[in-house]
Amino acid sequence: MPVGGSPAPGASAAKGSLGSNADVTDFLPSSGVASGFRYLVHDAEERFAPDGHESYVHVAYVVEQPSDVQYGSELEALYSPDFEELTLHFAKIHRDGAVIDALSTATVRELSPEPDRENFMYDESKNVVVLLQDVRRKDTIEWAYTVRGDNPVIRGHVLATQRLAKSSAIKSMLVRLLVPTSSNAQYRLHGAAVAPNVATVGAFTEYRWASSNVMAYEDEGDAPSWHQPEPWVEVSDFRSWNDVVAWAIPLYPHPKRLPSELELLIAKWNQLGSAEEKLIASARFVQDELRYLGMEIGSHSLKPHSPAQTFEKRFGDCKDKTYLLVTILNRLGIEAFPAMVSSREGQSLAERLPSPVAFDHVIAKVILHNKIYWFDPTIASERSSLLAHQYAEHKFALPVVAGTNGLDRLAQEQPQAPLSEVEEHYALGSLEGPVTLTVKTWLRGSRADEFRGRLEQHTIRGIMREYLNFFSKRFDEVEFLQAPTISDDQSGNVVTIVEQYRIASLMREGVAHVGAWSFEDLLAPPDVVRRSSPLAINSPYLAQHRVILSYEKRPVLEPPEAEISDQALNFTAKSEESKDGHHMTIVYTIRSLADAVPAERIRAHLALRRRIDSETDIVLTPSVAARDEVAAGNSRGSAFAAGAVTGTFAAIALLGLRRLSCKRRRANSIGAEAGETSESTG
C-alpha cells in the first residue's frame, strides 16, 4: 500500500487527473470552532478511463468535542485488494497556524473489517486504519487518498453514484466526475440534487458539483425503503435495460456438466407426476437444503459461483442459489431464468438509469403453462402455494434472458384472509374462580414462513418463556396451564399456535384491560412525528384480533361498533352477543391500503391511529353490585378471590387511549434501509 505522494492540484486536474484540492486554510475557523460545520472540506472525485477507474477523496474536519478526539483520531479507508489498490496521499493537522505532517508519525494498519455475520455475508475487503498521534481539541484534520481499480465484472463501464449532501454539515463540498466523452454516459439527478457544471476536459466530459454551506440532511427513520431523503446523482453508460441484460447473460451460462449426485436428484424429481410437483420439489430443495451464505470474494460480488460449486458446498448467496435452481428447472424441462430485483428501491427503481448496480438481489422467474411465477431461493421453510408465487414483494424485476426490453412490473398480492389472526378467549367464570385465557393464533402465507424460520432458531422452551413473559407484563400471577401446541399445515401454509394460561387477576388498580395487543406495533407512532419524509406502512397487511368474553352473569356494556379509515389504513370493530347471554365476541380487523403516508397527511394519520388504538382498548370495571357482593364476602371473612374478579363484571366500558408498553413479536419482519447503491448482489 503506497503512502505519500499527493496528486498535484489545479493544473494536473485540468488535464483529466484527480486531486483538485480545495485550500483548507481558506476555511479554517479563527476560533478553532467550526460554527456548526462538521466538515470544512469534503471532496469526492472519480475518473473513468481505459487504463482503469480512480476514486479520490479529500476531507478536512474540525475536532471540537472530546468525542471527536476519540473518534476523529482514527482515519479509515476501505478497498478490495483483489482488484484495487489504495494510496494514502497525506494526513495533516492544522493547529495555531502551523501544518503538522501527521502521516509520518501515524500508525498505519490494514485490517479485515468485521464480516456481516448477521446477514451471512463475507468478502475480501480491507480497511486501512490510520491512527494519528497527538490530536487535540480545536485541531483541523485533513487527509486524502486514492483507490485505483475496478471489479473485473464491470471493468470498462462507467458506473457511479455520489451523494451531494451528508448527514453532517459541510462548509465546502465538491463532487467531480470525469467520464470519457466517447462513452456516451448519461447522468440522472435524484432528490433535491441540482444540475452540474458540465465542461470538456481533454478526452473527458467533466460533471462538477461545487457547493458551499451544505446543510446536513436528516434521516428521520420509519420511511419506506424507496424514499431517499438526500440529494444524489448516478452516472451510467448503459443506454437501456436491454443493455444490462446483455451484460448479465454471460454471467449465467448453461453448465455442460453437473455433479453426479445432483444428476440423480434431477432424475428422481423427473419421475414426479406433474411439472408443478417438479417445480415445488426442486425449489424446496434449494431453499431448505442449501444454507444462505455469501462468499463475495473478488468478482463474485456480482458474478455467481457455478451450480456445481454451490451444490457441492451446500451454500450460496442469492445469485448462487438462483443460478442452481434455474439450472435444475431447465434440466426438468421448465422454463426459468434469473431475475434481478431491488430490495430497497421499490417503486423508485423505474426512475433509475439502466445499471447493474441498481439491483441488490436475484430471484428466479419461472414460466409454467403460460403463467409466471417468482421464487426466492434464499427463503427457507417456505410453504406457500404455487398460486402465491404469482406475486412478489418487489415492485420490478429485470429477467436475465434474451429479448428482455425493460423492467417487469410484479403483481402485488392482496391477502384475502388475515395473514395474522389472533383469538383470545377469557373464561371469566365466577368471583371465586381464576381466569382462564386461551390464545389461538393462525399465521398464514409469509407470516407462516417467517415463523417456521424463527422456530428453527429457537427452542420451544425459549418460545414459552417469551410468551409467558409477555402476559406477565400485562397481568399478575400468570402461569401456563399447558405447554403451547404448534401445528403446521404445510399444504395450506398455515401455522396454528394454541396457548392456555391461568391468570390470578386481570385487575390492576381497580380496572382490567384487554384488547387487540397484536395491532400495537402497527399503531405505535414513529420515533420522529414531526417529519418531512413519508411514513412507511406495513403492506400488504391484513390482520384480525378477536376477544371472546365468557361469563356467568351478563355484563352491561355498549358493544363496540366502528369503522375508521384513511388512504393508508382501514379498521373495523364489530361485536356479537351469544343467544344464551353468556358470551361476547368482539372482532377487530385492520388492513393496509398503501405502503406509505405522504408527509402532509401524517398528522391526520397519527390521529387516526390513536382513534383506532382507543377503540381496541377494552377497560373492565366491576359493577357496584359486584363490589358490594365482594365487600360483603370480605366482611364475612371470605378473601377476595383474585382470579375471579373478572367473572361477574356487570359493566364493561370502552375508555380512551391507554398505551401498553409491552409488545409481542411472533414473526420476524424483513426490512431494508434506503442508501447508496452497492456492487454486491446477495
* Beta-sheet strands, E only, within 269-354: 291-292, 294-296, 315-316, 335-341
What is the Cα–Cα distance from 260 to 271, expressed in whole angstroms?
17
| pLDDT tens digits for range 25-82 | 666 665 444 444 578 999 999 999 888 899 999 999 998 888 888 888 999 999 988 8
**Do 226 and 348 touch, CB atoms closer than 8 A?**
yes
Chain-wide mean pLDDT for the chain?
83
Q: Please choose, from the candidates 513, 515, 496, 554, the residue with its C-alpha nearest in 3D space to the C-alpha of residue 424.
A: 515
Percent of the chain with pLDDT over 90: 55
Highest mean pLDDT (candidates 194-198, 300-304, 582-586): 194-198
The pLDDT value given to residue 665: 29
**Do 138 and 311 touch, CB atoms closer than 8 A?**
no
The pLDDT value given to residue 27: 66
The pairing of strands 204-214 and 170-180 is antiparallel
More confident: 24 or 282 = 282
Cα dihedral 438, 443, 444, 447 in deg (nearest 10): 170
Cell of 3: 503512502
- pLDDT at residue 471 tops 90: no
| pLDDT tens digits for range 213-233 | 998 888 899 999 888 888 999
The pLDDT value given to residue 298: 65
**Do 166 and 217 touch, CB atoms closer than 8 A?**
yes
**Do 170 and 231 touch, CB atoms closer than 8 A?**
no
Band of pLDDT at residue 95, cut at 50, 70 and 90: very high
Cβ density class 642-675: b for 16+ within 10 Å, e for less: ebbbbbbbbebebeeeeeeeeebebbeeeeeebe
In degrees, to the nearest 5, what angle opens at C-alpha 315 toward C-alphas 261 and 82? 120
The pLDDT value given to residue 25: 66
Band of pLDDT at residue 491, cut at 50, 70 and 90: confident
The pLDDT value given to residue 164: 95
* Dihedral class, residue 666 (left if φ above 0, else alpha if ψ from -120 to 50, else beta): alpha
The pLDDT value given to residue 290: 95
Q: Please choose, from the candidates 518, 475, 477, 482, the residue with its C-alpha nearest in 3D space to the C-alpha of residue 498.
A: 482
264-271's contacts with Cβ under 8 Å and 24+ in sequence apart are: 266/328, 266/331, 266/332, 269/328, 269/332, 270/332
Q: Please choose, from the candidates 446, 441, 474, 470, the residue with its C-alpha nearest in 3D space to the C-alpha of residue 380.
A: 446
Percent of the chain with pLDDT over 70: 82
Find all residues with CB under 8 Å of 270, minimum gap 6, and list them.
278, 332
The pLDDT value given to residue 606: 97
Cα dihedral 478, 482, 483, 486 in deg (nearest 10): -120
- Domains of the chain and any CATH numbers: 11-237 (2.60.40.3140), 245-409 (3.10.620.30), 420-654 (2.60.120.1130)
The number of beta carbons lying within 10 Å of the beta carbon of residue 337 is 20
| pLDDT tens digits for range 258-284 | 999 999 999 999 999 899 999 999 999
What is the Cα–Cα distance from 278 to 311, expressed in whole angstroms?
18
Mean pLDDT (whole number) for 358-382? 94
Task: Answer positive or negative: Cα dihedral of 154, 155, 157, 159.
Answer: positive
Q: Compute φ and ψ for 387, nearest 5 degrees.
A: -60, -40
More confident: 643 or 71 = 71
Find all residues with CB under 8 Å of 403, minimum gap 6, and list them.
none
Highest mean pLDDT (candidates 544-548, 577-581, 646-650): 544-548
3-state secondary structure at position 187: strand
The pLDDT value given to residue 57: 96
Find all residues with CB under 8 Å of 509, minimum gap 6, and list them.
none
